[in-house]
A = this chain, B = another copy of it.
């Protein structure tokens, strides 16, 4: 059987949430040996997400955790991601191994990405499209599995791993060897995370450096300025959106 992928998705209530989860679930339905860890940024699990996940028929674990307020450039989804990360550490079946990946609910993934990441021995990186104010960021020249050149548009000198959250995965063996490493409240959290795990740009595995298989797409916030008027006028039972 192929190596299992544990994909951690942090999600929060907004008008576009159900659409995003629907779209993502179509993609996930195509992936074998996949465990979707969905963590809501909320005090309790919401009926919308609970019902959606039940109906989806996917192999899912549903968690919730309230994120703290963001201060300064502090990263989004800090507490949710760390909670889900530790859930994976604590709930791996005995001797089971796998790959952990952080999968946003609004990004776009090529299905080949998941086959590539299954070959990861310790931790791997790859380019991400539409992020960091450039067309793509991350490793762009590799020789064998070693990254020769990185590309980014921000904090060029400071970041050892010039990679977005969608641009790396880590083997569970490494996560269990370093049980205390989680994301920190800094702007360069991906970089710090990989450094804290003991990785260096020379030891990390570079995958498909010549092809973009994941895009950091973002969905526009919907203008619903006429909704109040519609509610008053139609006075119908609201249906779930």
- CB within 8 Å of B: which residues of A? 15-16, 18-20, 22-23, 26-27, 29-30, 108-111, 127, 129-130, 132-136, 140-141, 149, 151-154, 156, 210-212, 215, 217-220, 222-227, 229-230, 233-234, 236, 238-241
Query: Given A141-B236, A152-B230, does the pair A241, B135 have CB atoms closer than 8 Å?
Result: yes
Query: Given A30-B29, A212-B241, A220-B219, does the pair A132, B23 have CB atoms closer than 8 Å?
Result: no
**Minimum CB–CB distance for A32 against chain B, Å:** 14
Of B130, B156, B229, which contacts A233 at CB under 8 A? B156
**Minimum CB–CB distance for A184 against chain B, Å:** 24
A154 touches B226 (CB 8 A): yes
Identity of the chain B residue whose Cβ is nearest the Cβ of A219 in the assembled complex: B217
CA of A129 to CA of B23, assembled, Å? 14
Identity of the chain B residue whose Cβ is nearest the Cβ of A223 in the assembled complex: B133
CA of A27 to CA of B29, assembled, Å? 9
